[in-house]
């Protein structure tokens, strides 16, 4: 899910859903923890 605030857009996902969290890391091009 993507949400808009006054200044940015945020990407949201269920933090307990490992697959959803991994997809966000891929989208944001971040290293895995």
Tell me the residue range of the domain where 12 lies. Answer: 1-33
User: Which residues sit opposite 3 in a β-bridge?
Assistant: 10
State the chain's mean pLDDT as an integer. 90
The pLDDT-based confidence of 21 (bands split at 50, 70, 90) is very high
Total count of domains within the chain: 1
Encoded tokens for 33: 């923890």
Give the whole-angstrom CA distance, residue 28 versus residue 5.
18
The more confidently predicted of residues 33 and 11 is 11
> How many angstroms separate the CA atoms of 11 and 3, rounded?
7
Contacts of 19 (CB under 8 A, 6+ apart): none
């Amino acid at each position: 899910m993507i949400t808009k605030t006054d200044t940015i857009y945020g990407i949201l996902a269920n933090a307990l859903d490992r697959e959803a969290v991994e997809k966000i890391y891929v989208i944001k091009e971040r290293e895995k923890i």
